[in-house]
Amino acid sequence: MNITKRQNIIISNSETRSFLADAFYPETNKKLPLIIFVHGYKGYKDWGAWDLMAEKFAEKGFYFVKFNFSHNGTTVNDPHNFADLEAFGNNNYSKELSDVTAVIDFFIGDPKIDNQQIIILGHSRGGGISVIQAYEDKRINGLITLASVDTLDRFPKSEAFEKWKEKGVYYVLNGRTKQEMPHFYQFYEDYEKNNHRFDIEKAAEMTKVHFLIIHGTHDESVPVNNAEHLHLLHPNSELFLVENADHTFGAKEPWENDQLPKALDRGVEKCIEFIKVKMIKE
């Protein structure tokens, strides 16, 4: 099957700023289910094995979109590096939700897409954003989380929080790039102002979509009990644990293999099975 890859499509968002997206889909006359992939904290659309993941979904008959959040630190001219740390520091959950909406708005008009089959797939913090988006956006009818957090209240505590408030910025070291990544205090102010909206527990309980929760049992960044909690909140969800898988399901940056890591491939296979059983109307 021939796969079309449209990369670095510019998407404008008047509430944030322009950012890039990729679309992978098979050449066919059939309308295709749309999958929107939402990357996580310190992530970006071209990280690791995400291209291979996109290709696999396209080969299985999906229109797969991945994108960079407008304020993830990459730019339209430099999508592979954290070239704009000022933007990274000014990111917040409101901007991320606005960007996801802009992506859906952009692609939903494509005649190749079946607007009745829209799935959001989020990794790590992007999983938490996806849970909220699926609850708020009635166009979405499928939700899949990969190694998702179960709360967006992931800020410094006690003394570290007071220092952040006083100085207006705190830094986190990026272990791969060795950059000091800033977080401006506006991030917390946005959270506090909208904390009812950013309540993953409420969104998980209330959403009406088909919901699959995937998590590795050896996740070193987000403990597996986050997945178990989400499953408890939404009893009609399906929980799929990948034995011995870490936070990125075996992927890393750069990923120099032409095959998906086994754990991520297992997760993708489960996604495809779930969507086809629960959602695809023949």
User: What are the pLDDT digits (tens) for 70-123?
Assistant: 999 999 999 999 999 999 999 999 999 999 999 999 999 999 999 999 999 999
pLDDT one-digit tens code per residue, 186-233: 999 999 999 999 999 999 999 999 999 999 999 999 999 999 999 999
Please state, in angstroms and rounded to a whole number, the distance separating the CA atoms of residues 121 and 34.
10
Please state, in angstroms and rounded to a whole number, the distance separating the CA atoms of residues 24 and 134.
22
Half-sphere exposure of 171 (CA within 13 A, CB side): 9
Amino acid at 1: M
pLDDT one-digit tens code per residue, 137-156: 999 999 999 999 999 999 99
Q: What is the mean pLDDT of the chain?
A: 97
| pLDDT, position 281 | 65
Q: Residue count of the chain, please give it.
A: 282
Cα distances (Å, whole numbers) of residue 210 to 129, 181, 232, 275:
16, 36, 15, 9
Amino acid at 153: D
Tell which residue, 103, 144, 146, has the closest CA to residue 123.
Answer: 146
CA 170 to chain centre: 24
Cα distances (Å, whole numbers) of residue 127 to 6, 29, 173, 257:
24, 31, 22, 25
Domains and CATH numbers, the chain: 3-153+199-278 (3.40.50.1820)
The model carries a pTM of 0.98
Cβ count within 10 A of residue 60: 18
**Strand-pair partners of 173:** 180
Contact between 172 and 155 (Cβ < 8 Å): no
Q: Let me know the angle formed at the C-alpha of 175 by 172 and 177, rounded to the nearest 5 degrees.
A: 100
| pLDDT, position 282 | 54
Q: Locate 111 and state its tokens.
A: 């005649």
Tell which residue, 117, 110, 112, has the closest CA to residue 33.
Answer: 117
| pLDDT, position 1 | 79
SS3 85: helix
Tell which residue, 47, 91, 64, has the closest CA to residue 186.
Answer: 91
Phi, psi torsion values for 115, nearest 5 degrees: -65, -10
pLDDT at 267 over 90: yes
Residue carrying structure tokens 């506006």? 186
